[in-house]
Structure 1
Amino acid sequence: MDGIINFLKPPGMTSHDAVNLMRRLTGIRRIGHTGTLDPGAAGVLPICIGKATSVSEYVLGMDKSYRAEVSLGQATDTEDAAGQPVLTMPVPALTTHAVDLVLRSFLGKGSQIPPMYSAVRVDGKRLYELARRGEVVERKPREVLIYNIKLLEIRGNFIFFDLCCSRGTYVRTLCRNIAEKLGSAGHMSFLLRTAVGPFLLRNAVTFEELAQHAETGSITKALLPLDTALQNLQALTVDDSQAKRLRNGLAVTPGLKTSDGQRFRVYDSSQALLAIAAADKERIKPLKVFN
């Protein structure tokens, strides 16, 4: 069984819990998720099964979309509703125009300092492990890219917005920064991941649906093909002789213009996914072979 499950993670479940759940439902050990989604958050969490674990890095690199809520007036140590209050401030009068200006000020390239309660490693240790011991260490800023941010609603001290961003963006930190720019304190009180690249919320599968598939022996119906994770790579079809060379780890000359390092998803003559290959001058060399 090889493929990707577009799992609709419920709030309260860790990403590791989701992997263990898939192992129980499928009986397969070779399973991995494609980037942590906070336990309190819900939404799209692609799970790679079998050979699909070899393409998880491509899902990790995909852009993400979210619906989020900022709660103004109180900051927490985790930057979300699960944390302990660390700062309380009054909330200024909010207007749609002022909030919209603040949200749009985050568009484009920016930098974030990862929160202490995160899975980032510093000197080989997860930040959240240090934070639980009461330690605070210096963290290097990381570049993030906000493609789109849209105000949905202001309701009392709560701001709802949609967001499309690059990998590695901490929405919790963004919520805290939004509150600070509005002259208050705040934390993220709700997060729903609505998309990871081509993996969309409207197509995500719930635990109940997966359990039903497992009971009827039809869980493969929930599997998406491996190349769903490779949509950002240019497609290339090779003939049978080239396919044989690629399967044996040898380079081929596809007869098209390439740039060094460019990656391709390669299909054989029957349109079965064959490999991921990288261009080297006029040739392409296999990086990963699937069949």
Structure 2
Amino acid sequence: MNDKPETPSGVLLIDKAQDFTSHDVVAVARGALGIRKIGHCGTLDPMATGLLILVIGKATKLSDLLMSEEKEYEGTMVLGKTTNSQDAQGEVEEEKDVPDFSAEQIDDAFNEYVGDFEQIPPMVSAIKIKGVPLYKMARKGKVVERKPRAVKVYDYQIKRTELPEVDFVVQCSKGFYVRTYVHDIGQDLGCGAHLSALRRTRSGKFDLSRAVTTEQLKHGKREDLLASMLTLEEVLEIRGV
């Protein structure tokens, strides 16, 4: 007779802090909950903050389903500077003067990237070529050909324009690189750009309203963390299944 208690299963929503990798958060969760079977849905760069979905126990079977849903991000674009990672953590490659763009010109540039189009993933990314992540090649100074990927922007909104900075919100498909989005818009504007801040605010039907902070995950009590977890039934209900 096996009296071993069943491993809790469900989804834990995390508001990831800056400078943590997605794998770091999973490692912290495994230690905090005493559960090995934990995965995450949709990598967030260390620079990025916001919603990271952890799947626990039997919920790991939902990973592909939850990762396939659309995402929403808040970001800040800085015009006039391109970097080798397309964000603020990379090395500056080129600097140019920023023209006195009007709000309409900025909006027109963003409007070119609505609907279906293709992106070429950045070299500094977790995509693997022949089993080797691109970012490891990039660290060695290598640049290899990357295949374009089909992506989609459902909608966007420009929240603030104080040149050289532009704050925006974008709703997009899975596999979308906000860094590349910003880089490409900067190229179209002729002065270049990079991403200086990024926050994921939604993934599918899940948002930050029930998210646990990274600090709470690190220092909170196990029973409190388990109480914050969405059960499989709640997950299906939220998704309208």
TM over 0.5: yes
Equivalent in 218, 223, 231 of residue 229 of structure 2: 223
1:81 partnered with 2:102: no
Distance 2:235 2:64 in 1: 9
Describe how 1:65-104 pairs up with structure 2 within 5 A.
65-104=72-111
Distance 2:15 2:240 in 1: 28
Aligned pair in 2 of structure 1 residues 234, 71: CA closer, same or farther (>3 Å)?
closer
Aligned pair in 2 of structure 1 residues 188, 67: CA closer, same or farther (>3 Å)?
same
1:189 partnered with 2:196: yes
Shift of 1:202: 2.7
The answer for the alignment partner of 2:42 in structure 1 is 35
Distance 2:239 2:156 in 1: 26
Q: Is the partner of 1:224 in helix, strand or coil? A: coil
Distance 1:225 1:109 in 2: 34
**Further displaced range: 178-187 or 134-143:** 178-187
Describe how 1:43-82 pairs up with structure 2 within 5 A.
43-82=50-89
Equivalent in 186, 207, 224 of residue 214 of structure 2: 207
Deviations 1:236-258 (A, max 9, x none): xxxxxxxxxxxxxxxxxxxxxxx
Q: Is the partner of 1:139 in helix, strand or coil? A: coil
Shift of 1:122: 1.2
1:153 partnered with 2:160: yes
The list of structure 1 runs, each at least 4 consecutive aligned residues, that deviate by more than 3 angstroms after superposition, is 208-213, 227-235
1:106 partnered with 2:116: no
Q: For structure 2, which runs of at least 5 residues remain unmatched after alignment?
A: 1-7
Number of equivalences: 234
Deviations 1:121-161 (A, max 9, x none): 11221111111111111000000000001111111200110
Q: Is the partner of 1:175 in helix, strand or coil? A: helix
1:17 partnered with 2:24: yes
What amino acid does structure 2 have at the position aligned with 1:131?
A
Q: For structure 1, which runs of at least 5 residues remain unmatched after alignment?
A: 236-291
The answer for the alignment partner of 1:140 in structure 2 is 147
Deviations 1:64-122 (A, max 9, x none): 00001111111000000000011111111121111111111100001000000001111
The answer for the alignment partner of 1:255 in structure 2 is none
- The normalised TM-score by structure 2 is 0.92
Aligned pair in 2 of structure 1 residues 79, 26: CA closer, same or farther (>3 Å)?
same
8 Å Cα contact 1:58-1:230 kept in structure 2: no
Equivalent in 195, 198, 205 of residue 205 of structure 2: 198
Shift of 1:228: 5.3
Shift of 1:204: 1.6
What amino acid does structure 2 have at the position aligned with 1:61?
S
Structure number with larger C-alpha Rg: 1
Distance 2:123 2:216 in 1: 35
Shift of 1:179: 1.0
Distance 1:232 1:142 in 2: 29
Shift of 1:195: 0.4
Distance 1:136 1:227 in 2: 45
8 Å Cα contact 2:205-2:238 kept in structure 1: no
Aligned pair in 2 of structure 1 residues 113, 229: CA closer, same or farther (>3 Å)?
farther
8 Å Cα contact 1:62-1:166 kept in structure 2: yes
Shift of 1:212: 5.7
8 Å Cα contact 1:56-1:229 kept in structure 2: no
Equivalent in 168, 173, 187 of residue 166 of structure 1: 173
CA RMSD of aligned residues (A): 1.7
- The normalised TM-score by structure 1 is 0.77
